[in-house]
A = this chain, B = another copy of it.
Amino acid sequence: MARPSPLSGFPELLPADRIVEQRLLAELTRVFELHAFASVETRAIEPVEVLLGKGEVDKEVYAVRRLQAGPEDTSDPEWALHFDLTVPFARYVLEHAGHLQFPFRRYQVQKVWRGERPQEGRYREFTQADVDIVGADTLADHHDVEIVAVAADGFARLRDVLNFPPATLRVNNRKLAEGFYRGVGATDTAAVLQRIDKLGKIGPDKVGELLVAECGLTETAARTCLDLATITAYDESFVENVQALGVSDPLLDEGLEQLAAVVRGGGEVAPSVVKADLSIARGLDYYTGTVMETELAGYERLGSVASGGRYDKLASDGKRTYPGVGFSFGVTRMLVPIVAAGTVKASRQVPTCVLVAVDSEEDRATATSVATVLRRRGIPTEVAPKADKFGKQIRHADRRGIPYVWFCRADGDEVKDIRSGDQITADAASWTPPAEDLFPQVG
């Protein structure tokens, strides 16, 4: 075949960037497991009607059918690739409910597919990493605090360990907003929320006009709602600021209490990551309490790279309802621009720590034996593919970023750090590289 071109919207990483992705996923899944979430994977396809019936507003799905079924065969049910991990997880919970323990805490890292127009931060195939806690019939509010905590802990770890840009997790609460809007006299609180959701796009003046013209608010009420949306804080001080606006409603109080608990809990796990931001609306109408979105410093143009919230009905089989709270990391969405910018890099493009040089093809077995000993001791090792001159073998290592070259000598092996040029005698049974050289560093 001729040299193929990249397929727009289907990013593929070169090995060095893939090492960054692997580390990112390893750090996130470690955090998920420390927070007691179990891994689940679901099949890639779901019935079309299930995918179109719920979930994201965007319904650009990829339909899937057996090629051999032929164009005339309409007997198969219609299937499509999942476009998120929430819809398949809801189906998984219903299908396997009898074998699961509730509340069920699961994480799920998989690819999803959307037929939308590709652009920076928007792909047709991309990886998400989701955490959700799902209850049978009921789910206590304090689980919202746990989800915000694991999300904050995840981003803090990416920042501290992999040098990722700092994240701000902006959190609001639907009850708080709904109660507040009711308290200023709104009858259709969802309509008010929809207008507030446009703040970033059209600004407060326009939104104020819409609130009066389309939602029937008084000028004063509209201004009070806009004032609410300006309130932000990394601690519970926002509660006083809201109360100072003089609106009162029992649902508002409930929302304030929940949001305060979330900000407090998030702050305990990772200071200066979780921020109450009363402008956050999140378009999706299935959220019923906590709502979250995430901005990365320096990458604000990407919009929210991770988001989530509380939904009172993840799934229902007619008999039982399963409420949940969850959060989704847009892995590809944040990773691809960050590695493209060189903000985070791997120190080499291979896992290899040592290249064992080969003196002559007749002596290859000697080099292979050294490699076997080093590997058994947990040191990633390659044997030089060709008994070239040593200079060429060293360049083979250098081009891949392999830090050490090993030379087999009858009177005692030697190992060279090709960065410093230092060369020492060494025994494969005991030589140990510095810990930071053992695997590629990412940062």
Q: Which residues of A contact B (CB under 8 A)?
A: 1-7, 10, 12-15, 18-19, 22, 33-45, 48, 50, 59-69, 80-81, 91-92, 94-97, 99-101, 103, 105-106, 111, 113, 115, 125, 140, 142-143, 145-146, 149, 153, 265, 268-269, 315-318, 349-352, 361, 364, 368-369, 372, 375, 378-383, 385-386, 396, 399-400, 439
Chain B residues within an 8 Å CB radius of A91: 1, 4
Going nearest first, the 6 A-B pairs with the smallest beta carbon separation are A36-B382, A33-B351, A66-B115, A10-B43, A36-B352, A15-B38
- Nearest opposing residue in chain B for A26, CB measure: B26
Least CB distance, A370 to chain B, in whole angstroms: 12
Least CB distance, A98 to chain B, in whole angstroms: 9
Known: A45-B10, A96-B14. A140 touches B386 (CB 8 A): yes
The reply to whether B14 and A41 contact each other, CB–CB distance below 8 Å, is no
Between A2, A4, A268, the greatest number of chain B beta carbons within 10 A of the residue's beta carbon is seen for A4
A364's contact among B2, B15, B42, B142, by CB below 8 Å, is which? B142
Chain B residues within an 8 Å CB radius of A10: 43, 45
A269's contact among B13, B65, B372, by CB below 8 Å, is which? B372
Least CB distance, A106 to chain B, in whole angstroms: 7
Compute how far the CA of A443 lies from the CA of B338 in the bound complex, rounded to whole angstroms.
39
**Sample (19) of A-B pairs whose CB atoms are under 8 Å apart:** A1-B94, A2-B318, A3-B317, A13-B40, A14-B96, A15-B106, A34-B379, A36-B351, A36-B352, A36-B381, A45-B125, A62-B65, A62-B67, A64-B64, A69-B115, A101-B399, A146-B383, A149-B372, A153-B375
Known: A7-B43, A44-B125, A146-B383. A38 touches B372 (CB 8 A): no
Between A33, A100, A146, the greatest number of chain B beta carbons within 10 A of the residue's beta carbon is seen for A33
Chain B residues within an 8 Å CB radius of A115: 66-69
Known: A372-B269, A382-B36. A67 touches B43 (CB 8 A): no
Known: A7-B45, A14-B99. 17 other contacts (CB 8 A): A3-B95, A6-B95, A7-B43, A18-B38, A18-B41, A19-B39, A34-B351, A34-B379, A34-B380, A35-B381, A44-B81, A59-B68, A60-B68, A62-B66, A69-B115, A142-B361, A146-B383
Least CB distance, A149 to chain B, in whole angstroms: 8
Chain B residues within an 8 Å CB radius of A15: 38-40, 100, 106
- Nearest opposing residue in chain B for A102, CB measure: B385
Kindly report how many copies of this chain are found in the complex they form together. Answer: 2
A3's contact among B62, B94, B153, B269, by CB below 8 Å, is which? B94
Chain B residues within an 8 Å CB radius of A269: 372
A34's contact among B18, B68, B99, B378, by CB below 8 Å, is which? B378
- Nearest opposing residue in chain B for A349, CB measure: B38
Compute how far the CA of A43 lies from the CA of B63 in the bound complex, rounded to whole angstroms.
16
- Nearest opposing residue in chain B for A110, CB measure: B111
Compute how far the CA of A316 lies from the CA of B48 in the bound complex, rounded to whole angstroms.
38
- Nearest opposing residue in chain B for A98, CB measure: B3
Known: A2-B317, A60-B68. A350 touches B41 (CB 8 A): no
Between A38, A50, A100, the greatest number of chain B beta carbons within 10 A of the residue's beta carbon is seen for A38
Between A143, A146, A396, the greatest number of chain B beta carbons within 10 A of the residue's beta carbon is seen for A146
The reply to whether A43 and B125 contact each other, CB–CB distance below 8 Å, is yes
- Nearest opposing residue in chain B for A146, CB measure: B383
Compute how far the CA of A282 lies from the CA of B303 in the bound complex, rounded to whole angstroms.
52
Compute how far the CA of A60 lies from the CA of B101 in the bound complex, rounded to whole angstroms.
38
Least CB distance, A432 to chain B, in whole angstroms: 15
Compute how far the CA of A2 lies from the CA of B49 in the bound complex, rounded to whole angstroms.
13
- Nearest opposing residue in chain B for A49, CB measure: B1
